[in-house]
Chain A
Amino acid sequence: MISTDATCAGTAATPKDFKSPLKPIWCPGCGDYGVLNALYRALAAIGRPPHEIAFVSGIGCSSRIPGYTTAYGFNTVHGRALPIAQGIKLANPELLVLVAGGDGDGFSIGGGHVPHAIRRNADLTYIVMDNQVYGLTKGQVSPTSPRGTRARSSVYGSMESPVNPLLYTLAYGAGFVAQGIPGDLDGLAAIIEEGIRYPGFAFINVQSPCVSFGEPDNQVKVQRTRMRKLAAEGHDPSNRLRAIELAQDYGQELYTGVFYRNPNPPPTHGSQVKALQDERKALKAGAPPALSETDNHPTCC
């Protein structure tokens, strides 16, 4: 068994409860180690036992992360973590469902799924480890690479503008949008916890550096000197327009913290499904089971 379920009722959970015996195979210095540690802390603070957590990912270096936790993990195919996670959450709304992946997974091959998870307000926490490069395939431009990036697939410089994950998700209508860095473990753990607690779709962009193929001026230690905490800047996370304004600086300013938290979250997809199921069950209570309805099919147009 690669995972254990150590949390017992009555004892407070610790980060260790969520750590699987599987040893991460990320490069030394990879930002994803910090994300994993922040996640352990956040999950301990939330306190749900690992067997009540489903952790879904796509493909890429960062998508290995579910295997490093003791939760039920599903390391799926490239770009499709969000639809699979929504199926899990709708099938069993009691579960805590986490989704993780890289910027290629979320904003290139799987980019079409993001707006729909958001407009349904699927009650998921989606952590994107955004390193602006395809690391697993050894250094090609990614959807968040700055224009002009010289990479193995763009030796003369890339010609596309980057996707802005913060602005996109805000524009799609996400109720919770935040950004963190692995160098600020406390801050990152706090926003992951807050994202999980948010009733609805929570998007967390982590600027998680690629030590092998990333830019030298965007590594864990350098990021710490560049980061600007939104709370310290006096940003009010209920101000969506200001959040959109700040989000436009993606790629230039390294803001961390919560950009936007909807003070009046709309109903989640799951809660609407539950309400409809209850309503239909109540209406059908006492009626013959649906199977015999075949017999009652109208025999006329």
Chain B
Amino acid sequence: MNDLIIGMAGSGGDGIISAGESLIGAVAAEGYYGMLTKSYGPQIRGGESSCRLRVSTLPVLNPGGSLDVAVILDWDDFLRFGSELPVTEDTVIIFDVKSGVDRTSLPLNALWPKVLCGVPLEDMAIKAAGVQQAKNSVILGLLAGWLGLSPDSLLAGLRKKFARKGDEVLQGNERAFAAGLGHARVNPLRRNLRLDRPAAPLKRRVIADGNELCAKGAIAAGCTFFGGYPITPATEIMQHLQTDIWEHGGVVLQAEDEIAGVGAALGASFAGKKAMTATSGPGLSLKTEMLGLASVTELPLVCVDVQRGGPSTGMPTKCEQADLFAAVFSAHGDTVRPVLAPTTVADTYGLTVEAFNLAEQYQTPVILLSDQDIAQRKEIIDPVDPSRLSLVNRLEPTPEELKDYTRFRLTPSGISPLSHPGMKGGNYLAAGIEHDEHGAPTANGEIHGEMNHKRLVKFLPLRQRHDLFVMEGDPDSPLGIIAWGSVAGIAQEALRIVRAEGLDARLMIPKLLYPIAEEVFADFFAPLTRCIVFEQSHQGQLYRLIRMWVKVPPQFESYARSGANPLSPEDFVSQIRKLSRAGLRTEHADRADFLNPL
């Protein structure tokens, strides 16, 4: 087999996440691609935890659907994750016999897995290492044996991990690993889980998550100022920058609140630096007024929103794509700001650079709309090639223009040169209050109209940014699919499945969500008679946003689901099949009744 999904669940402290990280490290070393997603209970610290690892010989597009292997340290913890760790009768169930559960008492709602494998995990751990905490090393040994992974890569990982804990702990875990490996060898599974060997990687691959690559992308873009406040699931962006930014002459300010974080970043931008803030939904709400100030003063600023479940505190550890409306609309007055959404971990790097480029080019705040899934999942990816990046810097006044500098000069493009303190002759007043070309406050309606026009007309070129859209599939097919953010990878896999069945469709993945690139959408919709938008929000926010701006195909449907309910390729495939049959409506057809619970 060339694609395998492993899910594991236990209590906090069982080392489930740690085992997942060891595994992804080992499979990366052997040349596989992989994706590791972690999931926790409602509390950010403590309680149950789980992870799922998808390993493949090909790049992994999404965490996948039902599990091939479930490792269950505690049944109650496992069951709490529900649809996040779905099992079928083909799932190999590995569990601790200590739970007392057997074939007759499986708590799986009358589902009878073909392969059920009780292992004395805790006993083996205590026997080998003297402590039950070594259970996760036993699991790694079992999986190495059953999956056919090289014990060397896993042992190397264990050595690295326990190096600081002393010889005794390390040797205990090595013995626990050996015990698991031995058990797997003498107890072969009835279902073969051995992975095909991967094609040897051309380059050394990298394991990273979206938040890390956002931070690295920011530095590559030339960001030298970050202001922010800790918030799940965006905090790691600040942490990575806090490690790396100083040597580039930059600063990280952990501010007293979300507003101060974005305010300091805006101040740094006023002072001429590329600046960023990062947050999640509640923080975006707080930063809104400052984003409006950035719009009216026409100052570049990148604001990352790593979406989590909302509204309000919502579900801090769960993924949702429900901040789209907030990203696009949450400001008073007639403002537009570009909203970009990365689709993979690797994509986050380049799109962060793009966010800075748009901010500098158009002297505007830009929202990078990441999500919890992309931000925190680890992927094995090919190294990013920074030499292919092009960087944009803000338009500065020429010495000639500085002789009679007019900060907000009305120009055909809407873009006027931007000076900064320290630049002689560039002195001006930046103000939240409406201003004339010179920056002087005004309450004149005519000037207000001209300035609104200036601040909007500059975004017109974005209508043609075809490069910010990924198109896949058959360009002549009458059947269209749209998906964005972390959901895009699920739609890509679904498209491949239906095409393999002989059903052609065309997929669009917008990375520029706003302003709506009307030309790109019009081109995409032209040959379509039917189209479906997949997304993870209750209302189908992108579906509705598109309908505000573009003439849509005759049958334009939404398949949208609230966050924390995993979407799978199989799920999408069945919707696409339904849509392909003329006259049939998909499951969530006509979302005018979106108040109906799903």
- A positions within 8 Å CB-CB of B: 1-5, 22, 49-54, 56, 59, 64, 66-67, 70-77, 80, 82-92, 94-95, 112-113, 115-116, 273, 276-277, 279-281, 283-284, 290-295, 297-301
Contact A91/B267 with A70-B427, A83-B260, A112-B257 known, Cβ cut-off 8 Å: yes
Residues in B256-291 with C-beta less than 8 Å from chain A: 256-257, 259-261, 263-273, 275, 289-290
Query: Is the beta-carbon distance between A91 and B271 smaller than 8 angstroms?
Result: yes
Q: List 16 A-B contacts (CB under 8 A).
A: A22-B429, A59-B432, A64-B441, A71-B427, A72-B430, A80-B263, A83-B256, A83-B264, A85-B267, A90-B253, A90-B268, A92-B272, A95-B271, A116-B256, A300-B28, A300-B29
Given A297-B206, A301-B21, does the pair A87, B439 have CB atoms closer than 8 Å?
no
* Binary flags per residue of B184-219, CB closer than 8 Å to A gives 1, else 0: 000000000000000000001111100001001001
Within 8 Å of chain A (Cβ to Cβ): is B431?
Answer: yes
Whether the pair B207, A83 counts as a contact (CB closer than 8 A) is: no
A77 to B430, CA, bound (A): 11
The CA of A49 and the CA of B259, in the complex, are separated in Å by: 31
Interface residue SS majority, chain A: helix
Instruction: Tell me which of A51, A113, A294 contacts B260 (CB under 8 A).
Output: A113
Nearest CB of chain A from residue B279's CB, rounded to whole Å: 14
Contacts beyond the supplied A51-B425, A77-B290: 10 A-B pairs with Cβ under 8 Å: A22-B440, A74-B267, A80-B259, A83-B227, A87-B265, A88-B270, A92-B273, A295-B206, A300-B157, A301-B161
Q: Verify B268–A72 contact, CB threshold 8 A.
A: no
Q: Residue on A with the closest CB to B206?
A: A297
* B570 adjacent to chain A (CB < 8 Å): no
Complex interface bits, B128-163 against A, C-beta within 8 A gives 1, otherwise 0: 000000000000000000000000010011001100
Question: Smallest CB-CB separation from A54: which chain B residue?
Answer: B421
Quick check: which of B243-251, B333-341, B589-597 contacts chain A, the rest being far away? B243-251
How many chain B residues touch the partner (CB < 8 A)?
Answer: 80
B384 within 8 A of A: yes
Compute how far the CA of A56 lies from the CA of B270 in the bound complex, rounded to whole angstroms. Answer: 11
In the bound complex, how far is the Cα of B255 from the Cα of A84, in angstroms?
11
Provide the bound-state CA to CA distance between A92 and B272, in Å: 8
State in angstroms the CA–CA spacing of A70 and B425 once bound together.
10
By a CB distance below 8 angstroms, the chain A residues around B225 are 87, 90-91
- Min Cβ gap A72→B in Å is 4
Question: Who on chain B is nearest to A25 by CB?
Answer: B441
**Does residue B580 face the partner (Cβ distance < 8 Å to A)?**
no
B115: min CB distance to chain A, Å: 28
Within 8 Å CB of A71, what residues of B?
427
Map CB proximity to A onto B383-418 as digits: 1 under 8 Å, 0 otherwise.
Answer: 110100000000000000000111000000000000
CB of A50 within 8 A of CB of B427, answer yes
Tell me the complex Cα distance, A25–B69, Å: 73
Cβ contact within 8 Å between A1 and B424: no
Task: Name A291's closest neighbour in chain B (CB-CB).
Answer: B386
Tell me which of A52, A291, A292, A295 contacts B421 (CB under 8 A): A52
In the complex, what residues of A have CB within 8 A of residue B349's CB?
A: 294
- How distant is the Cα of A284 from the Cα of B255 in the complex, in angstroms? 27
Nearest chain B CB to A13 CB, angstrom units = 14
Chain A residues contacting B275 (CB-CB under 8 Å) are 87, 91
B369 within 8 A of A: no
Report whether A83 and B271 are in contact in the complex, using a CB–CB cutoff of 8 Å.
no
Structural contact, A87 and B253, CB atoms closer than 8 A: yes
Residues of B within 8 A of A291 (CB): 216, 219-220, 384, 386
Contact, CB under 8 Å: B206 / A3: no
| B271 adjacent to A54 (CB under 8 Å) | yes
B266 cross-chain contacts in A, Cβ below 8 A: 84, 87
Q: Are the C-beta atoms of A67 and B431 separated by less than 8 Å?
A: yes
